[in-house]
A and B are shown apart, each in its own frame.
Chain A
Amino acid sequence: DVKVTQSSRYLVKRTGEKVFLECVQDMDHENMFWYRQDPGLGLRLIYFSYDVKMKEKGDIPEGYSVSREKKERFSLILESASTNQTSMYLCASSLIGGMRDEQYFGPGTRLTVT
């Protein structure tokens, strides 16, 4: 089974702190994604990556950056956390050319910025 793990389930940070969210997948998937989930808004794509050291902006990249130094690991960085970044963050991965373009999700990190 594909496994996508995220470094923390719950995180509380202060405004202005630099925050790192880590995601690791164990199925050699090329594609990795970071979403944020807010009630009534569904999932919104922040950044994605098709390969090591490659990144593409999603729909809401402002205030975020990403890093992909190894194929299995995709990090989301909040350079200076703000209260409006309090949310659930979900990581996903998929195989390029994989059947159904299916994405596999991690359990999520609930981030609270105070």
Chain B
Amino acid sequence: GEDVEQSLFLSVREGDSSVINCTYTDSSSTYLYWYKQEPGAGLQLLTYIFSNMDMKQDQRLTVLLNKKDKHLSLRIADTQTGDSAIYFCAETHTGKLIFGQGTTLQVKP
């Protein structure tokens, strides 16, 4: 079945760039998403990319999509302590979302 994979943990220093990677299996996905979950909270949509795009930039966030390799990445420039959270990659499949395991981003001052 459809699967989305992420590494579980990433630690960076404040001010550095963070890159969170994701691989997926469903080549028919229309959209791919990054959700952010802050401690004790639900998930919020951080950004998304349409499947016919290669890149999307939104302020400090850059999403790169390699459809051939089914690889999605999220780059956070100038990472701040407030970026500490769990980041979930997700793809659409028949109206449902398939989520990765989530990557915990730790930002050290």
> Which of A's residues lie within 8 Å of B, judged by CB?
4, 31, 33, 35, 40-45, 48, 50, 58, 90, 92, 96, 100-108
Q: Please give the residue numbers on chain B whose beta carbons come within 8 Å of chain A beta carbons, in ascending order.
A: 4, 6, 8, 30-31, 33, 35, 40-45, 48, 88, 92, 95-97, 99-102
Question: How many CB-defined contacts (below 8 Å) exist between A and B?
Answer: 54
Select A101's contact among B4, B35, B92, B102, beta carbons within 8 Å: B92
- Shortest Cβ distance from residue A34 to the other chain B in the assembled complex, whole angstroms: 12
Measured between beta carbons, the chain A residues less than 8 angstroms from B100 are 42
Known: A31-B95, A41-B101, A101-B92. A107 touches B42 (CB 8 A): yes
The CA of A90 and the CA of B95, in the complex, are separated in Å by 17
Is the Cβ of A42 less than 8 Å from the Cβ of B45? Answer: no
Nearest B-chain residue to A103, judged by Cβ: B97
Query: Among B4, B42, B102, which residue has its beta carbon within 8 angstroms of that of A4?
Result: B42
